């Protein structure tokens, strides 16, 4: 599963780089739509995050003036970008292993302020492992 998530992350970063920051052909959406699964604010602490009900890990990165919080589900991911000073949500990205966005022509879509693609393709500063709700209690 980890390998699949890494492949999707690298593929998404490569796809985002192809569009390039600020290029008009980059798939865009509204922050309300693309960031719909993002917490409205993030103070930079692990304790302020809530694990999603799907049990996917949360990857944390510092990207200059932005903090990136990525919910990486293996086949899909959502990155939420927060102003490092105020903690306010200022941008978001979604990615998939299929062309789901902008008329099924893009593997990802973006809204608001996003960091350079290189930041998201680097190893996370830390990872919050979230429990899998489908795992049997007590585990094997």
- Whether 20 is covered by a domain: the verdict is yes
DSSP 11: H
pLDDT value of position 25: 66
The parent domain of residue 9 ranges over 2-40+56-128
Strand order in the sheet with 58-63: 108-112, 89-96, 76-83, 66-72, 58-63, 126-128
pLDDT value of position 59: 94
pLDDT value of position 139: 53
Are 92 and 80 contacting, i.e. CB atoms less than 8 angstroms apart? yes
Overall number of domains in the chain? 1
- Whether 49 is covered by a domain: the verdict is no
Average pLDDT for runs of 10 along the chain of length 140: 42 42 70 94 89 86 95 88 97 95 94 92 91 68
pLDDT value of position 132: 78
- Whether 36 is covered by a domain: the verdict is yes
80 forms bridges with which residues in the sheet?
69, 92
Contacts of 140 (CB under 8 A, 6+ apart): none
């Amino acid at each position: 599963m980890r390998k699949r998530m890494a492949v999707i992350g690298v593929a998404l970063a490569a796809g985002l780089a192809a569009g390039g920051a600020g290029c008009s052909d980059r798939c865009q959406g509204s922050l309300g739509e693309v960031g719909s699964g993002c917490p409205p604010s993030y103070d930079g602490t692990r304790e302020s995050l809530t694990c999603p009900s799907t049990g996917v890990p949360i990857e944390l990165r510092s990207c200059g003036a932005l903090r990136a919080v990525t919910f990486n589900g293996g086949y899909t991911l959502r990155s939420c970008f927060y102003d490092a000073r105020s903690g306010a949500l200022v941008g978001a990205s979604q990615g998939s292993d299929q062309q789901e966005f902008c008329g099924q022509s893009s593997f990802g879509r973006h809204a608001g302020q996003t960091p350079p693609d290189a930041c998201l393709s680097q190893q996370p500063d830390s990872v919050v492992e979230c429990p899998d709700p489908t795992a049997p209690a007590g585990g094997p």
